């Protein structure tokens, strides 16, 4: 528990740096008193528990698969981080320490007992009822373990404990990219005592019904794609023409982006059933346009005049005057910035692990790099702790400035490349873009006029 308490503020800082925005809808539902069980989807293995835990003042006990505990070092971290092992059949049947059915049941009974004790003391337990983590915008079939733990805890107190289940829909807009966005969509609580009569009649049926209610509440608060090709097309449209489709987007919230994603996927499903030809034409036109953009190393924003950066004298003076600050930020932050991504991509090819590894490594590389730079500056330059402290304070500020400066400069360089394209190539790209926008507008109008069944 001490490790959890010490690490939580550091993780909070790490998440604020890693994500551009981490928004919680109905935050008050996460902060109600225990006993409380949190149930969430699981698309980003190591990151999912963290983005929820930092928004709850009370410590959380996490259920994690037992394979994480086999490595002595990782196992020690997991136990210190308030994690309880759960033993899955597919894990128990493999490896040198395969468990029999009886041993598996006994191990899980012991883990369930720890959850009962934790909840009975008014604590909070977080579980991921999908039972596995896959980096997809889908909700896999839910296991009944969360419901059985909740019902079992209440049954020990004749359903008078007051345990609630809160479902958290965790939506990543680009799960493995630094400075991306996360939207936590929190559902109203489920009162476990409402299932008392059903549990007394048939415990298994009560667990099934509660699991189905958890599934319904998560489904309403998630962006869920039905097929890989739909997911690819929806993300291409979102990232390329999201502003065009959602011109009234409220910049103060991610909820509009969430709604756009859900509407796009619903629209794709409708067109597949009612107007597959229109969908095929859009898919082909968009794929050709994006392929040509990629070949020219350009983005759609480079052709969007509404997104054109300023071209006044002050804008160019900003780039000139800001160059030394960018260079300072680059030199002092480049290694700790690049190493986490390099290490994460070398360590695994599984997307759902990338962000968590990057966050963990970054929480080591940045403090270590800043400490070494501070020691060097103190020893060879300042010889004054106050000046050294000022230097250290400037490092993260210069780092964020360098990142923003480079994004601005890159956008200008790409626009310069657009102007230097051969006339035929530029005309082709502009014509393709116009065609895609026309198809999108026609599809939006057709979808808006569809007959709605009630």
pLDDT in tens, 71-114: 777 777 777 778 888 876 665 555 545 667 777 777 778 888 98
- Higher local confidence (pLDDT), 133 or 363: 363
Compute the radius of gyration of the chain from its Cα atoms: 26
- Please, what is the average pLDDT of the chain? 91
| pLDDT, tens digit (0-9, with 9 covering 90-100), for 190-228 | 999 999 999 999 999 999 999 999 999 999 999 999 888
How far is 289 from 283, CA to CA, in rounded Å?
10
Beta carbons of 191 and 164 less than 8 angstroms apart: yes
Residues 6+ apart with CB under 8 A from 120: 35, 153, 156, 157, 161
How far is 441 from 304, CA to CA, in rounded Å?
16
How far is 440 from 343, CA to CA, in rounded Å?
40
* 433: helix, strand or coil: helix
Place of tokens 């415990």: 203
How far is 437 from 346, CA to CA, in rounded Å?
39
pLDDT > 90 fraction of the chain, expressed in percent and rounded:
71
Which of 101, 171, 181, 165 lies closest to 139 in space, CA to CA? 171
How far is 26 from 221, CA to CA, in rounded Å?
12
Which of 141, 296, 139 lies closest to 225 in space, CA to CA? 139
Which of 365, 360, 354 lies closest to 396 in space, CA to CA? 365
Q: What angle do CA 218, 222, 225 make, to 5 degrees?
A: 120
Which of 161, 74, 70 lies closest to 115 in space, CA to CA? 161
Region 314-338: what's the mean pLDDT? 92
Could you tell me the pTM of the whole model? Answer: 0.90
Which of 65, 355, 333, 174 lies closest to 347 in space, CA to CA? 355
What does DSSP say about strands 60-65 and 124-127: parallel, antiparallel, or unpaired? parallel
How far is 303 from 324, CA to CA, in rounded Å?
30
| pLDDT, tens digit (0-9, with 9 covering 90-100), for 355-365 | 999 999 999 99
- Higher local confidence (pLDDT), 379 or 413: 379
Angle between helices 255-274 and 276-295 (to 10 degrees): 120
pLDDT of amino acid 310: 53
Sign of the dihedral defined by the CA atoms of residues 197, 128, 123, 190, in that order: negative
Beta carbons of 261 and 234 less than 8 angstroms apart: yes
Element (H, E) at 57: none
How many CA atoms lie less than 13 Å away from 196 in the CB half-sphere? 13
| pLDDT, tens digit (0-9, with 9 covering 90-100), for 242-265 | 989 988 888 899 999 999 999 999
The gap from C-alpha 321 to its chain's centroid, in whole angstroms, comes to: 36
């Amino acid at each position: 528990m001490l490790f959890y308490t010490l690490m939580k503020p550091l993780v909070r800082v790490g998440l604020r740096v890693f994500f551009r925005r981490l928004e919680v809808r109905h935050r008050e539902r996460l902060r109600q008193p225990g006993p409380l069980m949190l149930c969430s989807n699981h698309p980003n293995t190591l990151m999912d528990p963290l983005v929820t835990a930092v928004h709850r003042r009370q410590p959380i006990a996490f259920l994690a698969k037992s394979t994480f505990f086999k490595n002595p070092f990782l196992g020690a971290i997991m136990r210190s981080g308030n994690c309880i092992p759960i033993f899955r059949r597919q894990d128990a049947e493999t490896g040198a320490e395969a468990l029999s059915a009886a041993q598996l049941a006994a191990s899980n009974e012991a883990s369930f007992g720890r959850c009962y004790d934790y909840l009975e003391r008014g604590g909070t337990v977080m579980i991921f009822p999908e039972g596995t983590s896959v980096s997809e915008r889908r909700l896999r079939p839910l296991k009944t373990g969360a419901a059985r733990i909740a019902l079992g805890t209440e049954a020990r107190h004749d359903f008078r404990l007051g345990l609630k289940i809160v479902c958290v829909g965790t939506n990543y807009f680009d799960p493995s990219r630094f400075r991306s966005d996360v939207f936590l969509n929190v559902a109203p609580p489920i009162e476990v005592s409402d299932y008392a009569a059903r549990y007394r009649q048939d415990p298994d049926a009560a667990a099934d019904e509660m699991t189905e209610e958890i599934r319904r509440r998560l489904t309403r608060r998630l962006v869920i794609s039905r097929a890989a090709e739909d997911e690819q097309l929806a993300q291409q449209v979102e990232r390329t023409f999201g502003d065009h489709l959602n011109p009234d987007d409220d910049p103060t919230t991610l909820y509009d982006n969430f709604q756009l994603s859900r509407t796009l996927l619903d629209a794709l499903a409708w067109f597949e059933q009612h107007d597959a030809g229109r969908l095929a034409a859009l898919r082909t036109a968009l794929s050709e346009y994006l392929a040509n953009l990629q070949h020219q190393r350009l983005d759609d924003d480079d052709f969007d005049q509404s997104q054109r950066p300023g071209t006044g004298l002050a804008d160019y003076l900003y780039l000139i005057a800001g160059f030394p600050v960018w260079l300072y930020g680059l030199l002092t932050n480049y290694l700790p910035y690049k190493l986490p991504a390099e290490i994460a991509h070398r360590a695994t090819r599984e997307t759902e692990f990338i962000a968590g590894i990057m966050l963990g490594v970054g929480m080591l590389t940045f403090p270590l790099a800043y400490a070494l730079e501070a020691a060097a500056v103190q020893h060879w330059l300042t010889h004054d702790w106050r000046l050294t402290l000022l230097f250290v304070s400037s490092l993260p500020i210069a780092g964020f400035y360098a990142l923003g400066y480079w994004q601005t400069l890159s956008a200008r360089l790409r626009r310069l490349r657009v102007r230097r394209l051969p006339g035929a190539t530029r005309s082709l790209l502009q014509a393709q873009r116009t065609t895609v926008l026309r198809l999108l507008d026609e599809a939006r109008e057709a979808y808006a006029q569809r007959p709605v069944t009630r």
